[in-house]
Copies of this chain bind each other. A is one copy, B any other.
């Protein structure tokens, strides 16, 4: 950490900061410049943070120079991780050597719709099925998902297709229920700061898909992952899904650069959701290609057998020819970047 004093801070004020740091067991090096004095701190950053140096007289700013996350940081684990979804025998890897397509309906509406969407997903090269049984909706008057019934449908479709399931959990107390059906627990963008939920999935024995909050910085996103990791679960996959900006021509602004930025900072896998970021069907394919090319470890795509009848986010679901083009991109682009399409570790049924 570096403490920057105000211009004109007194010698006594500088000494007070140094004393406080030393009392806490740290070391402090003072550098006096023409207009400013700065103090470099050596020692336990967490300890320093509790010192509340910013509130001391004469202090202009306290600048953190090391990252506040540890378990998910690449500083401590330089080799990038691979997360296996679906169990050690027939699971699907998400990591640096492969490219994983996760596809399915935004919301589970019926057994038939989910089964048809899963078949579409599989045909496009998906090895994991996504589908929402609990849906977070801005309006209390909108369709909120089928709940437990939706989970049962997903389990049936997994049985029929062999695709492991990724599904969202909205509340800490629903984690055991959802975990009893799912292969991977999704924490959605609106819940990235729901610490009770982060801690609950941190105690679950399942991989977690952590979407970036639409308003979260990369650092806050990694801190949310740290919450999960701190409870013992390091099987975390990060998902960039667009951030909120002033631009209104797309629903959110896909922060494509976040993929290489995060891969540099953390060892966790990072995937991209090109469906929710753009919010428009005609953008899914170009954004999916961009995600592959930028080096993402996978993508998460909405498909729906009849988008016009979808209860949630129909306008962005892929169909027909787009899906064929997606399949082609997923097959052809990753090998150019040294990746193979992710397949089940053991053949699926």
Question: A104–B87 Cα gap in the complex (Å)?
Answer: 50
Q: Is the CB of A55 within 8 A of B7?
A: no
Known: A194-B190, A287-B257, A294-B287. A138 touches B310 (CB 8 A): no
Contact with B along A28-61 (1 / 0, CB 8 A): 0101111110101111101001101011100001
Question: A36–B63 Cα gap in the complex (Å)?
Answer: 13
Q: Which of B31, B261, B293 contacts A290 (CB 8 A)?
A: B293
**Most chain B C-beta atoms within 10 Å of own C-beta, residue among A68, A260, A337:** A260
Q: Is the CB of B42 within 8 A of A32?
A: yes
Q: Is the CB of B7 within 8 A of A75?
A: yes
Chain B minimum-CB-distance residue to A214: B215
Q: Which of B55, B56, B65 contacts A4 (CB 8 A)?
A: B65
Within 8 A of B (CB), among A234-249: 243-249
Known: A139-B226, A292-B293. A33 touches B29 (CB 8 A): no
Residue A123 CB within 8 A of the other chain:
no
Contact with B along A187-217 (1 / 0, CB 8 A): 0001101111000000000000000011101
- With both chains docked as a complex, state the minimum distance between the C-beta of A45 and any C-beta of chain B, in angstroms: 9
Q: Which bucket holds chain A's interface residue count?
A: 35 or more
Residue A256 CB within 8 A of the other chain:
yes
Binds B, one of A114-122, A154-162, A168-176: A168-176
Residue A223 CB within 8 A of the other chain:
yes
Residue A295 CB within 8 A of the other chain:
yes
Question: A293–B43 Cα gap in the complex (Å)?
Answer: 44
Question: A2–B86 Cα gap in the complex (Å)?
Answer: 45
Residue A140 CB within 8 A of the other chain:
yes
Question: A195–B142 Cα gap in the complex (Å)?
Answer: 12
CB-defined contacts of A254 to chain B, threshold 8 Å: 255-257
Residue A324 CB within 8 A of the other chain:
no
24 inter-chain pairs at a CB distance below 8 angstroms, sorted by A residue, are A29-B31, A29-B40, A34-B43, A38-B65, A49-B142, A54-B314, A55-B281, A55-B308, A61-B65, A138-B220, A140-B226, A141-B230, A190-B193, A214-B215, A219-B249, A243-B247, A245-B255, A247-B255, A249-B258, A250-B257, A254-B255, A260-B286, A287-B294, A289-B294
On A, residues with C-beta under 8 Å from B are: 2, 4, 7, 29, 31-36, 38, 40-44, 46, 49-50, 52, 54-56, 61, 63, 65-66, 68, 75, 136-143, 170-173, 190-191, 193-196, 213-215, 217-220, 223, 226-227, 230, 243-250, 253-261, 264, 277-278, 281-283, 286-287, 289-295, 307-311, 314-315, 332-333, 336-337
